[in-house]
Copies of this chain bind each other. A is one copy, B any other.
Amino acid sequence: MFKKILIANRGEIAVRVIQTCKDMNIKTVAVYSDADKTALHVLEADEAVHIGPSDPSQSYLAMDKIIGAALKTRAQAIHPGYGFLSENPEFVEKCTQAEIVFIGPSAQAIRKMGDKITSRKIMMAGGVPITPGLTGSHHTLDEMGQKADEIGYPVLIKATAGGGGKGIRIVHSQEELSDACESASREAKNAFGNPDIYLEKFFPRARHIEFQILADNFGNTIHLLERECSIQRRHQKIIEETPSPAVSPSLREEMGNTAVTAAKAAEYVNAGTIEFLLDDQNRYYFLEMNTRLQVEHPVTEMITGIDLVRQQLEIAAGNPLTLTQSDISARGHAIECRIYAEDPENDFFPSPGKIEFFKEPGGPGIRNDSGIYSGCTVPVEYDPILSKLTTHGETRDQTIAKMIKALKSYIVLGVKTPIDFLIDILSSPPFKEGDVFTNFIDTHFSTWKPTEKNRDLACLAFLVDEVCKKKNRSTDGDEKKQPPGPFHTLGNWNL
């Protein structure tokens, strides 16, 4: 096993990788930009290397700087996390040239799966069902329009590169097509350096179901069951769970086998995810393969009891999988909520700033993966994900109740978060019934406003805070004497 690895990422996922490294007695090297000098991932690592200015292109995306940091600190391998360089085949090649192990798949596999068109072709050839749509690159607007007419609106414009909800547009009619293509192409170019887009059928009532797979260098490929990731805003997941309420045992087996087939067709090694679309007729289609650890991997870890980062490290170190498909079974139900720094009342616009106070809920069946602490700063330059809250219970109902409880005790002061929005989704009848689909939020929550049940109490708390501050100030003259906390002067209130 490696003695020391570098983590080419930041935030909660870098902290997550460090956790498993500490479990395995592997030393860790963090990298950081100007904006992240005191970020949590830096504090948690054994060593930390500054790699440049805050702009990602000059730090977390600067391949040579990161490889230089690994060489300088004698890190034997690099874990890319998700985002940034995690799906960049050129980076994998540069690692190989520098004789550093890339903890992930081969450059070739990333390249093939990273291009949506190539991956669609490979899956078609492997007998994996794909969504109706285009399978060539560099389509003219006319070709796009023609295909859209053929498969019928609404259609989805997608960047052939990248992921993470960037470069995606839903188009409901021919008139919108031109603008949507232009805007998606521009966003794709900015995000991935590649303006190419293509088109596929949009299923408004479909679910997003993905299968976690693990594959070693010895031809062993297994899946670790599914994740239901249908609850999305701005085409980005915010609530994920497993098992999916829509997947029966027989469908699970069929889709799982297809996922393994797909991973093998891609000649894939390490941890990856096969994303499927499941329509309201229970037909499923290959959407894309994510050639990295997913944001939502904790739900899989909680129900299978398997540490996916440990598996990634073992595979990258050249060890064979010790798990077989029959070792994989689900226990209970798990749900993850992503806590972003964003304003749910204002179209989820990012809300960077200083975290003045942070308190996570604890107790049985609750897991926090977070990249922040009281007093840290959330920079404007990076993705707004702060942390992930995951709950695990015996049944879906119990797990939802536990998540609502945990969210109510999740305190972030200083930036806005969608915690109240998440509570309302989890409490809603369609979510409770498991009747979710990819435009669930647009359908049920497009006009969401906070209910403000506690508005009166908030007003009272506002005034009480002022009153307590005044009382403390009035005793400030006598410094030695502890100002009597209000509850020290309490009478007995209830008996």
Binding site for B on A (CB under 8 A): 15-16, 19-20, 22-25, 37-38, 47-51, 65, 68-69, 72-73, 298, 301, 305-307, 331-332, 360, 362-365, 367-370, 393-394, 398, 401-402, 405, 485, 487-488, 490, 492-495
Extra pairs beyond A68-B495, A307-B394 (12, CB < 8 Å): A20-B364, A22-B401, A23-B398, A37-B490, A38-B485, A65-B495, A69-B495, A298-B364, A301-B364, A331-B331, A363-B369, A364-B369
Complex Cα gap A363–B20 (Å) = 9
Contact partners of A25 in chain B: CB under 8 A: 401
In the complex, are the beta carbons of B401 and A23 less than 8 A apart? Answer: yes
Complex Cα gap A42–B20 (Å) = 35
Each complex incorporates copies of this chain amounting to 2
Contact partners of A490 in chain B: CB under 8 A: 37
Complex Cα gap A332–B402 (Å) = 23
Complex Cα gap A405–B365 (Å) = 20
**Which of B23, B50, B331, B493 is in CB contact (< 8 Å) with A50?**
B493
Complex Cα gap A48–B362 (Å) = 21
Contact partners of A16 in chain B: CB under 8 A: 363-364
A selection of 14 A-B contacts at a CB cut-off of 8 Å is A16-B364, A19-B363, A23-B401, A38-B485, A50-B494, A298-B364, A301-B364, A305-B394, A307-B364, A307-B365, A307-B393, A331-B331, A360-B362, A363-B369
Q: In the complex, what residue of chain B is closest to A373 when comparing beta carbons?
A: B359
In the complex, what's the smallest C-beta–C-beta distance from A31 to chain B, in angstroms? 9
**Which of B23, B305, B306, B368 is in CB contact (< 8 Å) with A362?**
B368
Complex Cα gap A398–B26 (Å) = 13
In the complex, are the beta carbons of B305 and A494 less than 8 A apart? Answer: no
Contact partners of A37 in chain B: CB under 8 A: 487-488, 490
In the complex, are the beta carbons of B495 and A364 less than 8 A apart? Answer: no
Contact partners of A19 in chain B: CB under 8 A: 363-364, 405
In the complex, what's the smallest C-beta–C-beta distance from A468 to chain B, in angstroms? 13
Contact partners of A367 in chain B: CB under 8 A: 362-364
Contact partners of A22 in chain B: CB under 8 A: 401, 405
